[in-house]
A and B are shown apart, each in its own frame.
Chain A
Amino acid sequence: MLELTNLRARVVPEDGPAREILKGLSLSVPAGEVHAIMGPNGSGKSTLSYVLTGKHGYEVTDGTATFEGEDLLGLEPEIRAARGLFLSFQYPMEIAGVPVMTFVRAAMNSQRKTRGEPEVSAPEFLKLSKVAAAKLRIDPEMLKRPLNVGFSGGEKKRLEIYQMLMLEPRFMILDETDSGLDIDALKVVAEGVNALRGAGRGMLVITHYQRLLDYIKPDRVHILSAGRIVKSGGPDLALELEKSGYDQFLKGG
């Protein structure tokens, strides 16, 4: 479903020199699987999520990235989203003046328009929203407030998953979704994420810690270091990491 081959990418700040972050990353996530990417700070985890979703300021210099056989790198971010790519942001943006529901409905209809599907009707949208909010234990009043403005870290993460449930993406990238969540919120969020696991969907779970993977069980675990996958394995790899740290995998890597 998602195929990355020898991906090299650099971050190009507006002021300052470009730095290469991804240095030949290869990864294959088949449909229906959940893969975890673990790695220390600065290993390129967030860069990977931004390169896949097409953020400005990131430049791919070599390699390929395809999604269901289509070259991803030539597509605008909104087209990638319409194809079904969703990023749950590590730091969700505050968008003043735009209520959550207004925003999500606009997003949903934009995606549908790009795919040539009819718009969602108001009653249908409200129904979907009610179900998603209940699943994540979100106060419906919160959905009338401007997106993320004044929300706590945990509320923002919950809202990311709410958007995910509403937009029903084909492929999800969760960038440190566990940060800022207490254990109860973590369980609620994981339940929401697990509701979207299925045959046609893929997922990349980016995290520092094993904790999230207790609730969102990965099929494969990859260790990212200095811009490359240095080790891949089954779910046990995450447990091993938790026990003995990253160092054993990084030496000479």
Chain B
Amino acid sequence: MQLSDLPSRRTEAWKWSDLRAAMGGQETTLIGAGPIGGEGPIAAFAELMGDAYAAGAQVIAAPGEALISSMTEGDVGQYGSLVVKAGATALIVERIAVSGSALRRILPTFARIEVEPGATLQRIVLQRNDVPFGQAGATIVRKEAVVERGAGATVREFVLGEGAKLARIEVSVDAGEGAHVELNGVYLAGAKRHVDFTSRVAHGAAGVKTQQLVRGVARKGGRGIFQGKFLVARTGQKTDADMQHNALLLEEGAEIFAKPELEIYADDVACAHGNTAGQINQDAIFYLRQRGIPLEEAQAMITRAFLIEAVPEWMGEELRGEIEARIDRWLGTQA
């Protein structure tokens, strides 16, 4: 693999996240970036980065177990697979903290997760960026997960993305019969930050219920990307799916790109989607200011409330608190 093998803006699925251009200045010459879930490129990438790709290694989550991982610049990539056994519930918290360090600046992870029939997976991805606001940093985050689920399984995911030089957090779900999928996320695209949420849910069996709610904000010089795809095969009858993406452009010069896609081959389904990108309602801002709340606080209050609607209850107080603190930090409402 060489730099020229990387996807660029000429590749449809990467048109807003030009990995080749972002990688151009990196000393490392390549990165595994084939189609999502591609075994070959991932393994090749791991090898070339000097990481151990544990092809056969599997972690089996004990019932009720919480698995926590973290990585930052300098860490080797994380590649692995996980099984959540039938009837069990597993919580996975994956933290990636961009610090701006000059150590190895590519943070790749790849996970293959199997959720057995009746099992529940709760997955939380927290991609932080602690580089001072307005500074670019050179770090690239590339996160992929493939989730395969058995009949009646539940998958709940929440992703917080604070972006990097380029950050792409990608998930692909293959739903089993009667499965329940919730994919939520919040992205915060500050100046010179790029954050890309790409997801795909395949409804190949009957009676799958899928809900997706992603909220994002971008400031001047920041770029937020949402690419969501629901695929409903001919065998995916009685699918009930709803995809919502709403973004706020906080300043002139902020960028949001969105591509919601529904591809439906079954005839007895309910699929809805909504996609909005706009500015904060000025009438709402005026209402708050008329009550005495200063302009910047009014904007932060409304933006915060907008984002927090996408933070699910199931995460529990502690993790919700952590995410709210990150949002407050980003909005500048926390010292």
A residues sitting closer than 8 Å to B (CB atoms) are 53-56, 76-78, 80-82, 86-87, 89, 92-93, 95-98, 103-104, 106-108, 110-111, 114, 146, 163, 167
Contacts and interface: CB of A to CB of B under 8 A. Distances in A.
A96 B290 contact: no
Contact of B291 (A54, A96, A97, A167): A167
Contacts of A167: 291-292
Contact of B294 (A53, A78, A93): A78
Binding site secondary structure of chain B: helix
B308 interface: yes
30 contacts: A53-B290, A55-B286, A77-B286, A78-B293, A78-B295, A80-B290, A81-B292, A82-B292, A86-B290, A93-B281, A93-B283, A93-B287, A95-B284, A95-B288, A95-B302, A95-B305, A97-B308, A97-B309, A98-B301, A103-B291, A103-B301, A104-B291, A106-B297, A107-B288, A107-B293, A108-B292, A110-B291, A110-B294, A111-B291, A146-B305
A82 B288 CA distance: 12
A168 B306 CA distance: 29
A89 B292 contact: no
B304 interface: yes
A81 B287 contact: no
Nearest to A84: B292
Interface of B: 281-284, 286-295, 297-298, 301-302, 304-306, 308-309
Given A110-B292, A167-B291, A97 B305 contact: yes
Given A78-B290, A97-B309, A114-B292, 18 more contacts: A56-B286, A77-B289, A78-B289, A78-B295, A81-B289, A86-B290, A89-B287, A93-B283, A95-B284, A95-B302, A97-B306, A103-B291, A106-B293, A106-B297, A107-B293, A108-B292, A110-B293, A111-B291
A96 B306 CA distance: 7
Contacts of B283: 93
Contacts of B288: 95, 103, 107
B334 to A, nearest CB: 15
A89 B290 CA distance: 10
The listed residue with most A CB atoms (<10 A of its CB), out of B288, B290, B292, B305, is B292
B292 A97 contact: no
Contacts of A81: 289-292
Contacts of B289: 54, 76-78, 81
A96 B305 contact: yes
A80 B306 CA distance: 27
A107 B291 contact: yes
A60 B331 CA distance: 33
Contacts of A87: 290
B75 to A, nearest CB: 36
Contacts of A77: 286, 289-290
Contacts of B282: 56
Q: Which 6 A-B pairs have the closest CB atoms?
A: A97-B305, A111-B292, A107-B291, A81-B292, A77-B289, A93-B287
Contacts of B309: 96-97
Nearest to A53: B290
Contacts of A146: 305
A77 B293 CA distance: 9
B292 A76 contact: no
Nearest to A173: B290
Contacts of A54: 289
Nearest to B303: A97
Nearest to A88: B290
Nearest to A77: B289
B305 A163 contact: no
B286 A98 contact: no
Contacts of B294: 76, 78, 110
A50 to B, nearest CB: 8
B270 to A, nearest CB: 24
A80 B309 CA distance: 31
Nearest to A109: B292
Nearest to A108: B292
Contacts of A78: 289-290, 292-295, 298
Contacts of B292: 78, 81-82, 107-108, 110-111, 114, 167
B64 to A, nearest CB: 32
Contacts of A98: 301-302, 305
Nearest to B289: A77
A93 B286 CA distance: 9
